[in-house]
Structure 1
């Protein structure tokens, strides 16, 4: 069967939508698809996965398992991914039988930091000065002006994993050795002022819409807080970020939901950090604060339905809930103070159905909505205090 370039017609409710990956992003996609009347099928090796728990169909298989992929294709009319590290080749295999969005070629760029940086540059989107390190010769040839920097594995890094700060050549060589001389990208360390992200959806016809720009705070490489509207980012800079993200998506001929993360530098310049070929942690607030969430947009893009611009009806703050909250100061497991949090106005609790809390593991998120940004922030600070989270 030839690879379908597009859907023959919009997929209407009643069709089955498939998703590669069983994490919380897949779970929220499943919820959105089912609310719109679609059935869902999830391919994931873990029988207790968050998405699998919620889906009508589960395919228990590895991402590269040929029988599993064939079963997902048989069940589904269109297929997407919820995890950036699903092998692009698996998506290519599925695309021989079913419409897949985003396409394997676009996902492959997002999976490789070197290809990602090169794509940013080809689009005229600024990014940090960098060097690719795949050999001892390239290591030795690193320019002095790239140090101090951050060494990142080219593939399979997320949430701060596969990264090391290096101040000089000795630390760079040691870090590369610790990463087992895997292909890496060295990025120059820049004076960062803010972190923001743009979540957009691009349809088969090239139509593009985006969520409001999100202002993000990371702790230990993991997203901790998202505020919308972005309180400290000028409108012109937000517009520049949206234009850059749209350019990146158009150049990839992207279909689906895409997140592009940016740094705002101390001098006010904008540089692209990385992108994710899926809904993003920083867009979770849209379930409660927008009239169209990032997950409904994901459904619409893969079903070929019209895209409408999301409207922020409530200022919002999102707090990530990591497994650390399930342990007291002595390391004993306990339940977080949900009753105290849920007593606060405008609080929306989302837990992902993960039975095993671990430190650093994303267990859920808390969205606070209010009539004003100031009130949303004040209530979110109260919630953080109740849970024992740091202020922001």
Structure 2
């Protein structure tokens, strides 16, 4: 599709997935890495264009540049000095007087590969990040003083360069940790960072299509992939959940905007991986940025209209950058979970996870071609997409247990794959597959409303809908009720049935705080026969819709909620279809008996009929 050759500095798993995306677009790719690097294994032009060598060596980078029209990165630990020289010698791609052949800019990479310089750059542009200070001394006393300037312990001591997957980070929780931290990170430039008490780690892949640093114009120059929740173990990304669990959509939009603003301050095009901290008060901090596709964006291959790898290739190509339009990065599914596969005690321990995943419908296995595994080495990943996060969590749970079992045995080569499997069996017994998360919430203002809801709940028990029944009063526990409504969508509820009597504020107040459809069920109280509740629920102000059923008709309330849920749940729709057919069959049977026996005898027969036919 693009006649130019893209040279990639690095040929690991990210490079491999770049090549896979390039093949689909007929884009030629040349890789600089070792002879058997994962990216080279699947590239058809290996013999003619690849370079065997190191992306950190000037001569090897120059050799790749001689074979490629555009240079980009799979890893940021590259020699930026030679890139600066190449830019000075020939800044633009052939047949262009404006499109730089190094994307993103070597200046961007130089800033980002020094993590303290990266933090200073973000602070300069008003991007919120954890306060940090350079460590110019290796003395414990000097670090104590820096800790005080940052607000006291705990702090995080970090290497400024050559740090990834948690390597180069050392948490200092107390004074006694200072000397071990300095010893662990000796002979490196360091900086100290204020402790960020986050409740979740998030990540956003951002596509930048404008070469200039655009600042306030980020909406014109960037697009964001959906926010993903990252779960780390041993400082390595273990899982990603997309969308993030129990993170309000408003916070997700804020994370996307913040990530786009941060990326827009750098020069050059391509995909940037942005890691963020979500703090307890729902504010956000940028943690780190990578000037390339990122491990936490693997899910985009199966879950989005365009993967981060395709996006990167298109963004850095002068003829394709403009084809990335709004909507290209959106989710094409409801939810996705990605699980990293790490090496274990045996060279093939990681294959236990891959083989198990092959038995799970919809699981997509990606192995990286790295040969023998070793503890902690990324050997592959698995992605499962589906119509709900609950469905995916049930599917992936046994694989997570298996990954945990490999980790438990990783420190000794004496541990066999049989040992790992036995541990997994035991762990699964103690931690079985979780039940499906509720799709329907049934709420009432008081337990006296339960009698009204009982017929509907009995019918709900027959449906393939996991549900929650709870009490939350608009008058006695107003804050709890509002919090419940605010969190309903992020908890995965697809409908809410709210029963209330008297003034019946519960359904309307619940609807005022959620985007989830609310079905009101009026309760017949001691006065006005429930008309007050019906009128209160049905007369919602414009902009706050609440569906309403007849007084005390919880059966219809549940059936209406089921129809709402059934629009995205085929099993529920199938049940409802069968239920309608059953009512049809029962009514036709009644008609046949009435016509055959006559109306005088029908009442007697009706009394002897099974309850389901009444």
How big is the shift at 1:24? Answer: 0.6
Instruction: Select 1:198's aligned residue among 194, 201, 204.
Output: 204
Larger Rg: 2
Aligned to 1:310: 329
How big is the shift at 1:50? Answer: 0.6
Aligned to 1:87: 79
Instruction: Select 1:164's aligned residue among 170, 185, 189.
Output: 170
How big is the shift at 1:64? Answer: 4.2
**Distance (whole Å) between structure 1 residues aligned to residue 284 and residue 275 of structure 2:** 10
Q: Tell me whether 1:116 sits opposite 2:118 in the alignment.
A: yes
Aligned to 2:133: 131
Q: Which has the higher contact order (CA 8 A, sep 6+)?
A: 1
Q: Tell me whether 1:141 sits opposite 2:145 in the alignment.
A: yes
Q: Secondary structure at the match of 1:336?
A: helix
For structure 1, the residue ranges without an aligned partner over 5 or more in a row are 1-11
Query: Relative to 1, partners in 2 of residues 1:334 and 1:214: Cα closer, same or farther, differing over 3 Å?
Result: closer
Q: TM-score, normalised by structure 2?
A: 0.58
Q: Tell me whether 1:253 sits opposite 2:267 in the alignment.
A: yes
How big is the shift at 1:258? Answer: 0.6
**Distance (whole Å) between structure 1 residues aligned to residue 400 and residue 86 of structure 2:** 43
**Distance (whole Å) between structure 2 residues aligned to residue 207 and residue 363 of structure 1:** 34
Q: Tell me whether 1:235 sits opposite 2:249 in the alignment.
A: yes
Q: Residue deviations 1:21-50, cap 9 Å, x none?
A: 011111111111121001110011x11111
How big is the shift at 1:65? Answer: 3.6
Give the number of equivalent residue pairs: 376
How big is the shift at 1:357? Answer: 0.5
How big is the shift at 1:268? Answer: 2.1
Range that drifts further, 118-127 or 360-369: 118-127
How big is the shift at 1:227? Answer: 0.7
Q: Tell me whether 1:70 sits opposite 2:59 in the alignment.
A: no
**Distance (whole Å) between structure 1 residues aligned to residue 3 and residue 71 of structure 2:** 15
**Distance (whole Å) between structure 2 residues aligned to residue 209 and residue 371 of structure 1:** 24
Q: Secondary structure at the match of 1:291?
A: coil
Aligned to 1:222: 236
Contact 2:350 2:373 in 1 (8 A): no
Higher strand share goes to which structure? 1
Contact 2:51 2:60 in 1 (8 A): yes
**Distance (whole Å) between structure 2 residues aligned to residue 353 and residue 255 of structure 1:** 29
Contact 2:56 2:77 in 1 (8 A): no
Q: Residue deviations 1:239-278, cap 9 Å, x none?
A: 2222221111221134111111111112322111111111
Contact 1:43 1:58 in 2 (8 A): yes
Q: TM-score, normalised by structure 1?
A: 0.89
Aligned to 1:213: 227
Aligned to 2:503: none
Contact 1:134 1:182 in 2 (8 A): no
**Distance (whole Å) between structure 2 residues aligned to residue 344 and residue 240 of structure 1:** 35
Higher helix share goes to which structure? 2
Root mean square deviation, CA, Å:
2.2
1:23-102 map, 5 Å: 23-44=12-33, 46-55=34-43, 56=45, 57-95=49-87, 96-97=89-90, 98=93, 99-102=101-104
Range that drifts further, 132-141 or 239-248: 132-141
Range that drifts further, 381-390 or 105-114: 381-390
Q: Residue deviations 1:106-153, cap 9 Å, x none?
A: 111111111111122122222222221022585353142231111111
For structure 2, the residue ranges without an aligned partner over 5 or more in a row are 94-100, 212-219, 406-426, 435-614
Contact 2:343 2:349 in 1 (8 A): no
